[in-house]
């Protein structure tokens, strides 16, 4: 989901730049890095995977507590 949102944002950014006509070069040129889109999406993916790896146990414990309470009123 995080990678999909990042890709959607990059496409939205591109569409706005295209619709702005001549200002597109100025808008996208301010970043000055040809691989900006790919880097942004890759970092979104790396961040999402890192969050999953670091927070999986916390999430499982939290869900266990919630489900434990729900089954024992």
Residue 50 clears pLDDT 80, i.e. is over it: yes
In order of 7, 24, 27, 40, 57, the CA distances from 13 in angstroms are: 10, 10, 9, 12, 36
Q: pTM for this structure? A: 0.68
Q: Between 61 and 69, where is the model more confident?
A: 61
**For all residues of the chain together, what is the average pLDDT?**
83
User: How many structural domains are present in the chain?
Assistant: 1
**C-beta separation of 2 from 41 below 8 A:** no
Using 50, 70 and 90 to split pLDDT, how confident is the model at 30?
A: low
45-60: average pLDDT? 93
Quick one: pLDDT at residue 56?
A: 92
Percent of the chain with pLDDT over 90: 34
Asked if 27 contacts 16 with a C-beta cutoff of 8 angstroms, the reply is: yes
Domain that holds residue 60: 2-71
């Amino acid at each position: 989901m995080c990678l999909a949102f990042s890709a959607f944002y990059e496409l939205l950014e591109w569409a706005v730049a295209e619709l702005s006509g001549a200002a597109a070069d100025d808008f996208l040129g301010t970043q000055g890095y040809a691989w900006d889109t790919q880097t942004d999406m890759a970092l979104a993916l790396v961040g999402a995977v890192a969050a999953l790896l670091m927070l999986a146990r916390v999430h499982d414990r939290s869900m266990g507590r919630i489900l434990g309470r729900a089954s024992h009123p």
